[in-house]
Structure 1
Amino acid sequence: MPEEFRYRVIHETSYLYSGRIDLCHNLCCLCPRDTPFQSRIIHFMSIEPRPEVIGDHVDFFGNHRNVFSVQHSHEKLLVRSTSEVAISTAARPWEGEFEDPPWEEVAAGLPGLRGEAARGIGGFRLASPATPPVAELREYTLASFPSGIGVFGGCQALMKRIHTDFRYAPGSTAVHTGIKEILAGRQGVCQDFAHLFLSGLRSIGLAARYVSGYLETLPPPGKPRLQGADASHAWIEVHVPGLDWVPFDPTNNLCPGSRHIVAAIGRDYFDVQPLRGIFLGSGSQFLGVRVDVSRA
């Protein structure tokens, strides 16, 4: 009987403003999804100051979103999301024996999808704002996809090369850093590597989607676990016929399992930003983020 891991995730976002803010409208994407291997147990939000308007809905990609408006004067905003999830330790289909279809055949079949398949799979083969087609990246990707190789095998090879060729360097890029800049600098963070991976796969006609979430991190041997020292994470999923969506984490060069917590999916980061919004007021803002992932 497969076991499960239970995790508690606390994600705090704070904004400190240099002047008074009269109004803000915000959209959150912090509620973990249910997946074939993950079940959401609880999720709740606390917001200070208390908003006058609050609601929720499910977006086009099936992500649960919270919306709220603070309609009175304030100088700071604190949004705290608390979740608990259960993740099965059962073997994933891609961990055993399976038929890995040639990537050319899979790519050739995607434009012909219709109905729900076109919406749920085919749309993820198209470029997005953060994953535009780049000729240099297409050539880089094709080096991992010789004729006849399977989709899974090609993705594993490309994941390993991204992990090897690009340096993980926090602070070296920003949210809006483009594919060409990442290629030139050969460094970045998980969001950048996910965008690079996605753009390359889409450039050769495969369907792939962005995944935002969290990763359980363990302290060095003999060291205490530090609360609030975790961070949000990003990886991708590729559609492989016969396996459905298969995850790949280029930052860590592995296929995610029971330590990766899925929050949301989209075409790229800008579909699943944890918190975004607009405000009416003057002055500047200072952002703070604190994430804690622990066994429940």
Structure 2
Amino acid sequence: MPLLTIHHVTTYRYRQPVFLGEHRIMMRPREAFDQHLLSARLEIAPEPCELRWLHDVFGNSVAVAVFDRRTDSLIVTSEATLEHAPLGQGQVDVEPYARLFPFTYSSEDMPDLLRSIERQYHDPGRVLDNWARTFVKNDGTTGTIPMLTQMATSVRRDFTYVPRHEKGTQSPLETLTKRQGTCRDFAVLMIEAVRALGFAARFVSGYVYNPSPSEGVVGGGNTHAWVRIFLPGSGWVEFDPTNGIIGNRGLIRVAVARDAYQALPLSGTWFGFPASFLGMDITVDVHRADSSQYPSSVHGAINSRLAGPSGK
């Protein structure tokens, strides 16, 4: 089970001091059976006058920072160490009734899945619907996992990954037209495509790393985005269309949401002259941690350290 440390730094720069409004920070990895958080540290400069934590409607950990001074920069540093249990495609076990597409979710699950099935983007010409249907066989032998796998791997094969640091996400129709985009664009495309087929799907924001030197992945050095699809028998299963990953191998979840705008790693406001903003820099480093610092006696227990710039 890999022991990983994530170092994530976001820096905002301003031409002259500005007032900072409230900021929401989602950089703390989620605790789950397949990723176990051992330590977490959050540093903010300038130091906020108030820092509080909450769980949002999806159960994500959110830090809310309030400031009372002017500043010409904002630096948010998150460091976390966790045990990660990679699960591959072979470990996805779907209930017999859902192994072939189409199928219907159970009456017990459907009420809680409905909002994750709802489409978020208009498709008046049914362009996205038609693209999604190209992965469905006409003879009734469409395997659920093979179909979703083919969709994810086809995005990796047929679309060009182009990093983009500006805020916002392309619509699925834009991505289909341009045949290129960021990881979040590809995630939104696949979410809307599988929703068009009746699947419940959610947007995931987190980090990606290379499980082994022989596995090349893109999207590192920054936050990453992918998809979770609900499959009876296995629950929420990861699909990363940017890298063609099925399962969570190389993927570390931070935030899960119905829509991309609900899973922003850092969001907030500032007040000053419009030309004051100079730019933003993001660096993310994921590497194997020194296991000697985390003896086996503490594995399985959460030791979360939340500290401001002073280390208090």
Pair in the same fold by TM > 0.5: yes
Q: In the alignment, residue 261 of structure 2 is paired with which amino acid? A: F
Give the aligned partner of residue 124 of structure 1.
116
Task: Report how far residue 189 of structure 1 moved.
Answer: 1.7
Aligned-partner Cα distance in 2 for 1:253–1:209: 17
Give the aligned partner of residue 182 of structure 2.
189
| 2:155 paired with 1:162 | yes
Give the aligned partner of residue 23 of structure 1.
20
Task: Report how far residue 190 of structure 1 moved.
Answer: 1.0
| 2:4 paired with 1:7 | yes
Structure 1, unmatched stretches of 5+, are 222-228
Deviates more, 1:91-100 or 1:187-196: 91-100
Count, aligned residues = 278
Give the aligned partner of residue 233 of structure 2.
242
Aligned-partner Cα distance in 1 for 2:48–2:134: 52
Tell whether the 8 Å contact from 2:13 to 2:72 is kept in structure 1 after alignment: yes
Give the aligned partner of residue 52 of structure 1.
49
What SS is found at the alignment partner of 1:247? strand
Equivalent of residue 102 in structure 1, options 96, 100, 103:
100
Give the aligned partner of residue 65 of structure 1.
62
Aligned-partner Cα distance in 1 for 2:269–2:234: 40
Task: Report how far residue 90 of structure 1 moved.
Answer: 6.2
What SS is found at the alignment partner of 1:194? helix
Equivalent of residue 253 in structure 2, options 224, 249, 262:
262
Task: Report how far residue 218 of structure 1 moved.
Answer: 7.5
Tell whether the 8 Å contact from 2:211 to 2:250 is kept in structure 1 after alignment: no
Aligned-partner Cα distance in 1 for 2:95–2:212: 35
Give the aligned partner of residue 75 of structure 2.
78
What SS is found at the alignment partner of 2:102? helix
Judged with a 3 Å threshold, the aligned counterparts in structure 2 of structure 1 residues 97 and 270 are, in CA distance, closer, same or farther, namely closer
Tell whether the 8 Å contact from 2:255 to 2:263 is kept in structure 1 after alignment: yes
Equivalent of residue 268 in structure 2, options 268, 272, 277:
277
Tell whether the 8 Å contact from 1:210 to 1:266 is kept in structure 2 after alignment: yes
Aligned-partner Cα distance in 2 for 1:75–1:166: 39
Q: In the alignment, residue 260 of structure 1 is paired with which amino acid? A: L
Off by >6 Å, runs of 4+ in structure 1: 90-93, 218-221
Tell whether the 8 Å contact from 1:214 to 1:262 is kept in structure 2 after alignment: yes
The Cα RMSD (Å) is 2.5
Tell whether the 8 Å contact from 2:94 to 2:234 is kept in structure 1 after alignment: no
Deviations along 1:222-266, one digit per CA (max 9) or x if unpaired, are xxxxxxx72211111111111111111111112133421111111
Deviations along 1:17-68, one digit per CA (max 9) or x if unpaired, are 1232123210011110022311111112100011111101001111000000
TM-score normalised over the length of structure 1: 0.85
Give the aligned partner of residue 32 of structure 1.
29
Judged with a 3 Å threshold, the aligned counterparts in structure 2 of structure 1 residues 257 and 22 are, in CA distance, closer, same or farther, namely closer
Aligned-partner Cα distance in 2 for 1:251–1:211: 13
Structure 2, unmatched stretches of 5+, are 215-219, 290-312
TM-score normalised over the length of structure 2: 0.81
Tell whether the 8 Å contact from 1:113 to 1:122 is kept in structure 2 after alignment: no
Deviations along 1:160-194, one digit per CA (max 9) or x if unpaired, are 22222211122498623222211110011211111
| 2:172 paired with 1:179 | yes
Aligned-partner Cα distance in 2 for 1:77–1:26: 11
Tell whether the 8 Å contact from 2:2 to 2:288 is kept in structure 1 after alignment: yes
Identity of aligned residues (%): 26
Tell whether the 8 Å contact from 2:86 to 2:247 is kept in structure 1 after alignment: no
Task: Report how far residue 74 of structure 1 moved.
Answer: 1.0
Aligned-partner Cα distance in 1 for 2:129–2:67: 45
